[in-house]
């Protein structure tokens, strides 16, 4: 992901901000982390949705119905 951070740095530099300054560095950090979190969250949502497509709601209720107490709340 270093290449992506450098790409964002080049875009910010092209916009006329110094990436070694406070504003430029903060903007680079914010954009890099925002996009990284967005990608990771999208992948996670896709994987969970894909897995859930194989489990009908009745089967999920049957599996979770076996647990009681604190263990059931954590699941």
In degrees to the nearest 10, what's the CA dihedral of 54, 56, 60, 62?
A: -130
pLDDT, tens digit, 9 for 90 and up, residues 18-47: 989 999 999 999 999 999 999 999 999 999
User: How far is the C-alpha of 15 from the C-alpha of 17, rounded, in Å?
Assistant: 6
For residue 28 the two structure tokens come to: 């680079």
Rounded CA gap, 37 and 53, in Å?
24
Question: From CA 61, how far away is CA 75, in angstroms rounded?
Answer: 12
Residue 72 falls inside a structural domain: no
Confidence of residue 75 (pLDDT cuts 50, 70, 90): low
Q: What is the pLDDT of residue 54?
A: 86
> For residue 30, what are the domain limits?
2-67
Tell me how many domains the chain contains.
1
Most confident of 3-12, 39-48, 55-64: 39-48
pTM for the full model? 0.67
Cβ contacts of 18 within 8 Å, gap of 6 or more = 24
Q: Does any domain span residue 74?
A: no
């Amino acid at each position: 992901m270093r290449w992506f951070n450098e790409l964002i740095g080049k875009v910010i530099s092209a916009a006329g901000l110094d990436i070694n300054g406070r504003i430029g560095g903060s903007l680079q950090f914010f954009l890099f982390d925002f996009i990284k979190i967005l990608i990771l969250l999208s992948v996670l949502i896709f994987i969970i949705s894909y897995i859930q497509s194989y489990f009908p709601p009745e089967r999920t209720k049957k599996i979770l119905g076996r647990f009681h107490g604190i263990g059931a709340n954590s699941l």
